[in-house]
Homo-oligomer: A and B are copies of this chain.
Amino acid sequence: MTANSRYRSRAPRSDDGEEKDYVGFATLPNQVHRKSVKKGFDFTLMVAGESGLGKSTLVNSLFLTDLHKDRKLLNAEERISQTVEIMKHTVDIEEKGVKLKLTIVDTPGFGDAVNNTECWRAVTDYIDQQFEHYFRDESGLNRKNIQDNRVHCCLYFIPPFGHGLRPVDIEFMKALQDKVNVVPLIAKADCLTPSEIKKLKERLREEIDKYGIKIYQFPDCDSDEDEEFKRQDKELKESTPFAVIGSNTVVEARGQRVRGRLYPWGIVEVENPAHCDFVKLRTILIRTHMHDLKDITSDCHYENYRAQCIQTMTSSPDFPSIQLANIMHGALFKLL
């Protein structure tokens, strides 16, 4: 684009004299767009679910990264003694000039123990800690370089083997539902036939409804969208919970090199919509709703946390002298 057309594109001049009715603030979204590109983005995605359900592989497939290059796999004995340990990986990726600082919060080992009581505790504690850090930072004096580590989305992996939700799945999602955007997935869907997937999805949707589990609600598309777009949007949403397959291997299928899994009976292609919902998940998670996930985190989940904090503190008998000091600890620690 030449400089002239750039200036023109910001302040279009039309031949029919419309220009004199044009103020130019219609460029505001472009100004926001430009600034956001300059600043870069960040996104924190949590994956949760039992070991061995392909959490890391799916994330690698989604973001074309390699999370655990040198991960050491644990044997059964090690796994049993292992507690829920939170691991954080940050990668800086760039695509078409757009920079993304992607943080993956992995919760390896969950569900490996025989007794899984309160197995979600470490995860909810982790989420709360990030909120607390943010609360302290945004109450502080210097807010210029606040690191936002709040978790924007949690992909919850449901095993494909059962006949619906297990008690641990219900407990886990319910513990998380008011703190983070939960997106349930059917893991390793290449072990299910299309009719089995259909049945399991129906079952899961019913149970999610029945147990009052609040999963992330993809917002309605704008009413001014055309019918075809609305139909596609509806189809995407009706495919939840997405049945996914991940793969770190590139195989040759129909003359093309694709991410897939090579079975004696055929090739499973991760990005083939007839094989699984991977592309749907990627579309809705990254290409259309990543920003909404961030907004809901900030405007709902974090605001709920903050309101609870303030209410707890102000309802304490020692209020206001001591508890208030806690509220303002960010500012105070930096001052005193």
How far apart sit A144 and B335, CA to CA, in the bound complex (Å)?
29
A62 within 8 A of B: yes
A88 within 8 A of B: no
Least CB separation from A285: chain B residue? B24
Within 8 A of B (CB), among A219-250: 222, 225-232
Partner of A6, one of B142, B229, B258: B229
Query: Is B228 a contact of A20 with CB atoms below 8 Å?
Result: no
A38→B325 contact, CB < 8 A: no
Are A33 and B25 interface neighbours, CB within 8 A? no
Tell me, yes or no, whether A191 is within 8 Å of chain B by CB.
no
CB distance from A280 to the nearest CB of B (A): 11
Given contacts A310-B141, A331-B314, contact A288 B21 (CB under 8 A): no
Q: By the criterion CB–CB under 8 Å, are A331 and B303 in contact?
A: no
Complex Cα distance A29/B62, Å? 19
CA distance A305 to B238 in the complex (A): 49
With A257-B20, A286-B24, A287-B11 in contact, do A29 and B98 touch (Cβ < 8 Å)? yes
A contact residues, range: 35 or more
- Contact flags (1/0) for A14-58 with B, using CB distance below 8 Å? 000100111111111111110111100101000000000000000
Given contacts A25-B41, A292-B31, A324-B328, contact A283 B229 (CB under 8 A): no
Decide: A28 near B328, CB < 8 A? Known: A3-B232, A10-B283, A310-B335.
no
Q: Give the residue among A100, A143, A230, A286 with the most B Cβ atoms within 10 A.
A: A286
The digit string for A115-136, where 1 denotes a CB below 8 A from any CB of B, is: 0000000000000000000000
Q: Are A20 and B100 in contact (CB under 8 A)?
A: no
28 CB-based A-B contacts, threshold 8 Å: A3-B229, A4-B228, A7-B283, A10-B288, A11-B283, A20-B259, A22-B95, A23-B95, A24-B287, A25-B98, A25-B290, A26-B98, A27-B286, A27-B288, A28-B290, A29-B33, A29-B37, A29-B98, A35-B291, A35-B292, A141-B310, A141-B311, A143-B303, A144-B303, A314-B335, A320-B324, A321-B321, A327-B328
